[in-house]
Chains A and B, each alone.
Chain A
């Protein structure tokens, strides 16, 4: 186990900035997930930690030791590749033992260690097979075993589950979390799949266009997204975001959302209220927090957004109301399968508890308020 730290790391490929001034730390025993859309620089960041790419500027340390310019093999890190990168001409046993061979471990000993790790991962029966004779899930395990057998200080994983089918992925996710607990080693895990990030990571770092957007425990990132990008990237379906303007009327602040209506601006929304009259903001509410206000309830003006239901999608355990807010855009509300819902084409009043309303700066996308 070791702390991995990136300090002001930038990587350029020609004119393209792949990673932009990234400062990030994965502590001892951390399961740090680098999350972002493809091309966000997460894999490049991982490859720089591995030593497969050299940063253009900035410093990378592993266990307090600066590793800039240090060869991959001298960094004591192991990596699992998206393609698994198994040696096709070697048997499963030889694949797993290959890193030990490089370190001069005697043959009998390395075969014993490799077989032991293989057995732990349920590969005991497959030692004499070649990668071409294995299923995707089995190959993935061999790749894992090859990483584990070295007992590295840091595990790096580059989308290791993306080639598995949905069922295998769910199963392997849980196994990786268990593995992390058992090995008690620093994991850095790259994925574009937010479900993997949420379920596996002890901390999640979200990147976009090479720049770090937010880092923190998954729940914190979900509950308090630092900006619009994170808000829209995390969550499925993603957070509803609607452009709005700040209104100051009779000494109280409120938000006007398109033609959909006014929403009182509770004090919890903090410094958004300090914006002047007419300031542009973006209001965000997660689908599960956006609910149709019962038609029977008498609602004062300013407690909801008027919208029209376009489609009702049933997912079995819940339903999604796709609604159109006039002049602002589309939103999705998630409601229980049993709850009464309006039909397509009907008007609906949508509301949310103030603590579930997020407000972002209209220009920068940064979070306003607590």
Chain B
């Protein structure tokens, strides 16, 4: 039978490792890894909440004192972060929604429909993954320029509305849905749309959520493309704004860090919100197992 998505809760607990030393070693490694990952975040937060005169005193800077929150306010006013954040949110949401819609539809077609040259088309789709964005960026720039989309939301979003990666990811997910379910839905009176909405998408939800978070993350953190096609402040995104903030306030590291923390907050919230979705498998119990 085809590999099923496994509910991690259904698995037996991992072998606890007979030896306490081994357990200690394992947790020690985890702690080190956690520190390595968390340290830059900690530094950013710590720096952002202290007055600039404390920042040069090492290592005192790592133990925050004399807390100030006005840095965040200054980041907003000095760097127009508010506008940039709105722009980033609009662009990221549009791109994420677009990628989800196009990926779901294309993945469904590749997983369930029969049409000529399906394999060839799919391989061509996947092949685009191997072209680095730097290769296409000039051509894309010219296209967008000719369309008159420089300094516009269209220019920021349209080139990213479809993704071969998402299509590939969701196709794999759809292929895990047992074929019998498609047949059962067909007999129950559901065409492709009904099956897609009622069965395939709910079953692929963990993967769709993962793709959504991933898409949002990537578009939120985009730098080169927005920098290239926007000159008007009204359309600049938060990453460009941060760069501008950093270059104009070189002496105020705390304000720069405050901006960075603000820019990272939405992503952080997203991860916390979707944590459960990301790890939950839903296919268990579909067929006899």
Contacts and interface: CB of A to CB of B under 8 A. Distances in A.
B181 interface: yes
Contacts of A84: 287-288
B195 to A, nearest CB: 10
Interface string A111-146: 000000000000000000011111010010000001
A47 B182 CA distance: 13
B186 A87 contact: no
Contacts of B82: none
A51 B191 CA distance: 13
B284 A52 contact: no
B188 A146 contact: yes
B250 to A, nearest CB: 53
Q: Which 7 A-B pairs have the closest CB atoms?
A: A132-B285, A102-B189, A83-B287, A85-B180, A85-B184, A99-B188, A88-B286
B225 interface: no
B203 A88 contact: yes
A72 B187 contact: yes
A50 interface: yes
Size class of the contact patch on chain A: 20 to 34
A102 B184 CA distance: 12
Interface stretch (A74-82, A258-266, A271-279, A281-289): A74-82
B285 A79 contact: no
Interface in A67-104: 71-73, 77-79, 81-89, 98-99, 102-103
Interface string A42-82: 00000100111000000000000000000111000111011
B198 to A, nearest CB: 7
Contact of B186 (A73, A86, A98): A73
A87 B199 contact: yes
Interface in B190-212: 190-191, 194, 198-199, 202-203, 205
B187 A77 contact: yes
B188 A88 contact: no
A73 B191 CA distance: 8
B188 A98 contact: yes
Contact of A88 (B186, B187, B190, B282): B282
B178 interface: yes
A3 B218 CA distance: 59
Which one of B180, B194, B284, B285 has the highest number of Cβ atoms from chain A below 10 Å of its Cβ?
Answer: B285
Contact of B184 (A51, A71, A81): A81
A86 B198 CA distance: 13
A87 B202 CA distance: 10
Contacts of B287: 83-86
Interface residues of B, number: 26
A88 B180 contact: no
A87 B181 contact: yes
A352 to B, nearest CB: 43
A170 interface: no
A358 B258 CA distance: 94
Contacts of A103: 189
A83 B180 contact: yes
A89 B282 contact: yes
A85 to B, nearest CB: 4
Contacts of B183: 47, 50, 52, 72, 79, 81, 85
A163 interface: yes
B283 interface: yes
Contact of A85 (B181, B194, B198): B181
A136 B288 contact: yes
Given A103-B189, A146-B188, A81 B284 contact: no
Which one of B183, B199, B202, B283 has the highest number of Cβ atoms from chain A below 10 Å of its Cβ?
Answer: B183
B285 A102 contact: no
B68 to A, nearest CB: 49
8 contacts: A51-B187, A79-B187, A83-B287, A85-B178, A88-B203, A88-B284, A131-B285, A134-B285
Contact of B187 (A78, A83, A87): A78
A213 B189 CA distance: 34
Nearest to A156: B187
Contacts of A86: 285-287
B286 A102 contact: no
Contacts of A79: 183-184, 187
A130 B285 contact: yes
A88 B288 contact: no
A265 to B, nearest CB: 51
A49 to B, nearest CB: 11
Given A72-B187, A73-B187, A102-B190, A88 B285 contact: yes
Contact of A87 (B191, B284, B286, B288): B286
Contacts of B178: 83, 85
A83 B186 contact: no
A346 to B, nearest CB: 48
Contacts of B205: 89
A150 B188 CA distance: 8
A83 B288 contact: yes
Contacts of A50: 183, 187
B286 A99 contact: no
A131 B205 CA distance: 18
Interface in B205-260: 205
